[in-house]
Amino acid sequence: MTAARFAYFVVLAGMRTGSNLLEEYLSAMPGLVSYGELFNPHFFGKPKVDEMFGIAMAERDRDPIRVIEAMRMKGGGLPGFRLFYDHDPRVIDHVLRDEGAAKIVLTRRPLDSYVSLKIARKTGQWWLGDLSSARSAKVAFDAGEYADFVNTLSAYQDRIRHTLQTTGQTAFHLDYAELSDPDVVSGLGRYLGARAEPDTEQVRAKVQNPRPVEDRLSNPSEADAALRSLAAHDVGYIPSHEPERGPGLRMFHVCETTPLIYMPIRGAGADPVPDWLRQLDPAQGVLSGLTQKDMRKWMRQHPSHRSFTVLRHPLARAYDAFCRFILPADEEGYADIRAALVARYGVDLPDNGSGPDWTLARHRQAFLGFLNFLEGNLGGQTSLRVDHSWASQEAFLSAIARFAVPDRVMREETAARELAELADLVGCTGSPVFGGGFAAQHPFPLSDVQTDDIAKACAAAYRRDYVFFGFERWSEGQAA
């Protein structure tokens, strides 16, 4: 079925699956309009609304299909609504069999939905526009309650799948994590026949609970044991809410003659590796800014090539980003973020950059505030961009690996030794000494700035980096 034949769309989902965010994306696409939960038993489309399209709730409940027809007649583009498993079963049956309905099946890990639902009920917060207004709470996992939740959800998804199969229809399937992928969202727009890309300025909904499930439960051990018995052991899953990135090919560096490829993880500090490559190469030539075609050509011409990248401790990267881009008052590209940190997130930054009156105590407190902001920023809870200067290294490395997996992932503190070993491996004897020096200029050494609170805040913001790369608390020995 082509998009032009759709009379309306329906988002088939459940509570706490990201349907609010998806609806905002859909409504931000020219030619599409979404009317919320039209068949929620407690309201009409949105909370505290009891009439739409000139139809009252009592009339809706007597003849729900009439509401769909009224919505279609309203005009102004392709209309649609969200439909959950606890909404009117007559409507669910109708839309599943209606080939004129474009079906979007939105799913999420059941455990995440379950815990998010309990938190929303406890805090009363069902929608979040920004980290600054986020409410948090811990809830108790109940094995019987969770089993009922999963069974209800599975029955709904089985019903959708079976009806689509027996009627020969297809749907657009979307996972919660894919809502942060602009290419997937754009593809959904094309499926529905939207006239243009979504206007992201209209999308205000943010991730409400970005932390791992175990941090949101008051009884994670009991939950873990219960999930093991249910063959659903996933309490320790660490979600990622960062936007996907490209591999950054134009940032790669290759030697003209020596078969080495440097695949940098972008950050805020200095990068001494390209200069080391230049000294190493007999022709003293290092190429960058290459296209994918150029890179593959170089690889074919250097069949014995080796590729590598360098990891830095998350605290060192975050501190460089803070000192280089946030602390100064004259970084135009970060002016909006700096202003938001002061006005919305309570970060005490100097009006004119760090001067003689900028004390170590104020510096520590400002950096701690920045790290707390990063936890929300990387967790999808702010409207501000996840800048490459402080994005997680796991996100960068995953993006690089989509082009080619590096042969070696080095650490900043061991880079000198490992680079010498790599040079020997490709036949370069007497390689130059690697001087290191990744760090940016700082008003105070990180060793003086770090406190227990700062170490904990960094670990919370960069949970995936700490877990996947085995980072522990930063020490001076982890600087090159």
Residues 442-458: what's their mean pLDDT? 95
Q: Is the pLDDT of residue 230 over 70?
A: no
Residues 186-209: what's their mean pLDDT? 77
407: tokens are: 């042969």
Specify the pLDDT at position 209: 60
- Looking at mean pLDDT, say which of 119-128, 434-443, 454-463 comes out highest: 454-463
More confident residue, 197 or 308: 308
> What whole-number distance in Å separates Cα of residue 426 and Cα of residue 305?
8
Cβ atoms of 81 and 71 closer than 8 Å: yes
Specify the pLDDT at position 197: 83
Question: For residue range 283-339, what is the model confidence (pLDDT) as tens digits?
Answer: 888 999 998 899 999 999 999 999 999 999 999 999 999 999 999 988 888 988 999
Element (H, E) at 13: strand 8-13
Specify the pLDDT at position 210: 62
Cβ atoms of 11 and 104 closer than 8 Å: yes
Question: For residue range 24-42, what is the model confidence (pLDDT) as tens digits?
Answer: 989 889 889 999 999 998 8
Residue 275 burial (CB < 10 Å; 0-12/13-18/19+)?
middle
Residues 215-219: what's their mean pLDDT? 81
> What whole-number distance in Å separates Cα of residue 205 and Cα of residue 350?
31
Q: What is the DSSP letter of 433?
A: P
Euclidean distance between the first and final Cα of the chain, in Å?
A: 58
Specify the pLDDT at position 99: 94
More confident residue, 94 or 154: 94
Q: Is the pLDDT of residue 236 over 70?
A: no
Cβ atoms of 68 and 8 closer than 8 Å: yes
Specify the pLDDT at position 237: 62
Cβ atoms of 100 and 5 closer than 8 Å: yes
Q: Are strands 32-34 and 8-13 parallel, antiparallel or unpaired?
A: unpaired
Query: In sequence order, what are the residues at sequence separation of 6 or more whose Cβ sits closer than 8 angstroms to the Cβ of residue 318?
Result: 370, 371, 374, 390, 458, 461, 462
Residues 456-479: what's their mean pLDDT? 90
Specify the pLDDT at position 95: 95
Which of 5, 4, 10, 3 lies closest to 68 in space, CA to CA?
10
8: tokens are: 């309306």
Q: Is the pLDDT of residue 222 over 90?
A: no
Angle at 310 between CA 308 and CA 315, to 5 degrees: 160
Q: Does pTM surpass 0.75?
A: no
> What whole-number distance in Å separates Cα of residue 91 and Cα of residue 104?
15
Specify the pLDDT at position 239: 65
Specify the pLDDT at position 238: 65
Biggest CA pair distance of the chain: 85
More confident residue, 123 or 249: 249
Question: Domain segments of the chain: what residues?
Answer: 3-209, 243-480
Residues 269-288: what's their mean pLDDT? 89
Residues 437-447: what's their mean pLDDT? 90
- Looking at mean pLDDT, say which of 123-127, 266-270, 341-345 comes out highest: 341-345
Question: For residue range 68-86, what is the model confidence (pLDDT) as tens digits?
Answer: 999 998 866 899 999 998 8
Specify the pLDDT at position 173: 94
Specify the pLDDT at position 241: 67
- Band of the pLDDT at 372, cuts 50, 70, 90? very high
- Residue 200, classed as helix, strand or coil, is helix
- Band of the pLDDT at 3, cuts 50, 70, 90? very low
Specify the pLDDT at position 2: 42
Percent of the chain's residues with pLDDT above 70: 91
Please determine, looking at this structure, whether the domain spanning 3-209 carries the CATH number 3.30.1330.60: no
Q: Is the pLDDT of residue 232 over 80?
A: no
> What whole-number distance in Å separates Cα of residue 207 and Cα of residue 231?
27
